[in-house]
Amino acid sequence: MKKKIFIAINIPGKAKNKMGEYQEQIAGQFNSSGHDCPIKWTKKDNLHITLLFLGLVDDMEIPELFGIVEEAVSQVEVFDISIDDLSYGPIGVTSPKMIWANIGKNDELIDLQNRIQRAVLDEGYSAETDKKFTPHMTLGRLVQWQFRKIEPEEVPQVDDGVGLGVTVKSIEIMESFAGRGGSEYCILKSINLKS
């Protein structure tokens, strides 16, 4: 049997609650402009920063994957990141698909992602590597047909500054599966960083 696997940073509950407040604020902006909110929100408990998406991995290979990732991050120390601002995402596209909470430039985060990606690919696993790593959390996905009905000048701005610091103490190997009302995530293994 295969499982849909990705590697992520789960943010602490306090930061998830703050992101939930931003979700409510953005929904209110759409509603106050006379439009139904065209966003399918990510459940607050599911908010995370994806480091690497592997896709379908055979059950029998998952324990080996745990070891590969543990070894790759064994020398990585706990570090801080900043949730800088919100935007429509992906950044730079003319037709946005999501609402993002953008993570500030951080060499330690880039190094962590590179270590994991290199180790996983070197061991023969396939992973989604066709896109440049742009650290973010997906707060919600735009329902395209609803969003396109809104005149461009009526689309609320979501470029709020956040400036929320978060300490990264662990990474998680996670499974994604279809649940009622959208994707659900399950932590298969949490790997602590060096303190």
DSSP 3-state of 117? helix
Q: What is the pLDDT of residue 120?
A: 96
Q: What is the pLDDT of residue 94?
A: 80
Q: What's the number of domains the chain is made of?
A: 1
> What is the spatial distance between Cα 144 and Cα 69, in angstroms, rounded to a whole number?
36
> What is the spatial distance between Cα 68 and Cα 178, in angstroms, rounded to a whole number?
27
Alpha-carbon distances of 183 from 27, 85, 192, rounded to whole Å: 20, 24, 25
The closest alpha carbon to 162, from 12, 45, 18, belongs to 18
Domain of 20, CATH number, reads: 3.90.1140.10
Q: What is the pLDDT of residue 114?
A: 96
Query: CA triplet 28, 43, 112: central angle to 5 degrees?
Result: 115
Q: What is the pLDDT of residue 154?
A: 85
Q: What is the pLDDT of residue 42?
A: 95
Q: What is the pLDDT of residue 173?
A: 98
Measured in degrees and rounded to the nearest 5, phi and psi for residue 26 equal -65, -45
Q: What is the pLDDT of residue 85?
A: 96
> What is the spatial distance between Cα 18 and Cα 14, in angstroms, rounded to a whole number?
6
Residue-level pLDDT, tens digit, the chain, 195 residues: 999 999 999 999 999 999 999 999 999 998 887 778 899 999 999 999 999 999 999 999 999 999 999 999 999 999 999 999 999 999 888 889 999 999 999 999 999 999 999 999 999 988 887 678 999 999 999 999 989 888 888 888 888 789 999 999 999 999 999 887 778 899 999 999 998
Q: With a threshold of 0.85, does the pTM exceed it?
A: yes
Domain range spanning residue 187? 2-192
Helix (H) or strand (E) holding 154, with range, is none
